[in-house]
Copies of this chain bind each other. A is one copy, B any other.
Amino acid sequence: MMNKQMKLAKRPVGMPDESTWVLEQNEIPTTESLAEGDILVKQHYISLDPAMRGWMNDSRSYIPPVQIGEVMRAGSAGEVVASKNERFAVGDFVSGWGGVQQYAVTDGRGWYKVDPSLAPLPTYIGTLGMPGMTAYFGILEVGKIQEGDTVLVSGAAGAVGSIVGQISKIKGCRVVGIAGGPVKCQYLIDELGFDAAIDYKSDEPVAKAIRRTCPDGVDVYFDNVGGDILDAALTRINRGARIVICGAISQYNNTTAIKGPSNYLSLLVNRATMTGMVVIDYASQYQEAGMQMGMWMAQGKLKSREDVYEGIDNFYDTFKRLFTGEKMGKLVLKVID
């Protein structure tokens, strides 16, 4: 048995190709080789997130870039199989930043125990993990939603957007989601209870569709995509609107300059605010948010959907789905049985 690890081989320009990473097989660390305080985690599931693209650029950001030759950074969930750390026992299930590999050694900082009897492991790297926390703090703390607000969210069928919309419904907002294709749009309405959905791949221009589905304008726009959709949303915001900049997946693989929002002066006309957010700032409040999200799930108010693919060898093909949109909900890779 070996530990398969996906390492960054080079810095991509534009959309990464398969040679961006290299799959290595190394010895699985033994219990004896662990330093005092370390644990060895058998990582069943790896989280695939759009933010991974940004971590590969050698530029100043909110965390250091992944270095060439390092295991690709990723959230993960698995089982402790060896421990020299009193916080964790063999058999504990845990989640943390284990990277794209089958076995991870860590001192446990930033890792926490999870209970697979309450929710499946993949949910802990989705709705009960970083994407869920991003949605929770983004829409409540940055978006500052109030009952009766019209909330518009892009990437609405994705790991973050689907939770943003559902939390907004729980809080008494009118919710409109933007997603690609009729299947996702139907899912938003039928399964997640959105009030309306906009298929940005349809013939109807997005600005027109926003006007149709948000007749009272947009109070909060939660943006995961940037580009033309952000510009369209800016044409329909209300006075005092809050725009949450969570991501810009349409721009991450640009080889030319990012498309800035041409309609940003709508912020002036409408005295609106555009604010960027990064979930790790809210780490001290994860616990209470997790409890709240768990309760909503238990009450059936919050649905979690993971799209699980298998095999670390399929990492690249699965990663690509983040950008083609060929997935539904949270994208997860199962890397070991």
- A269: CB under 8 A from chain B? yes
Asked if A274 meets B273 with Cβ closer than 8 Å, knowing A245-B265, A260-B263, the reply is yes
- A201: CB under 8 A from chain B? no
- A interface, how many residues as a size bin? 20 to 34
Q: Pick 8 A–B contacts, CB within 8 A, sort by A.
A: A245-B265, A245-B267, A257-B262, A258-B263, A260-B261, A269-B276, A272-B275, A273-B276
Q: Pick out which of these stretches binds chain B: A4-12, A34-42, A87-95, A246-254.
A: A246-254
Asked if A277 meets B268 with Cβ closer than 8 Å, knowing A231-B260, A260-B260, the reply is yes
Asked if A278 meets B274 with Cβ closer than 8 Å, knowing A231-B260, A259-B262, A260-B263, the reply is no
Q: Are the CB atoms of B261 and A270 closer together than 8 Å?
A: no
A residues with CB within 8 A of B? 60-62, 226, 231, 245-248, 251, 257-278, 281
Instruction: Kindly report which residue of chain B lies nearest to residue A278, judged by CB atoms.
Output: B271
Most buried by B among A226, A231, A259, A271: A271
What would 6 more interface pairs be, CB under 8 Å, given A245-B267, A246-B268, A261-B261?
A: A231-B260, A245-B265, A260-B260, A260-B264, A267-B275, A268-B277
Q: Are the CB atoms of A270 and B259 closer together than 8 Å?
A: no
Q: Are the CB atoms of A264 and B264 closer together than 8 Å?
A: yes
Q: Are the CB atoms of A273 and B273 closer together than 8 Å?
A: yes
A247 to chain B, nearest CB (A): 7
Instruction: Kindly report which residue of chain B lies nearest to residue A234, judged by CB atoms.
Output: B260
Q: Are the CB atoms of B276 and A272 closer together than 8 Å?
A: yes
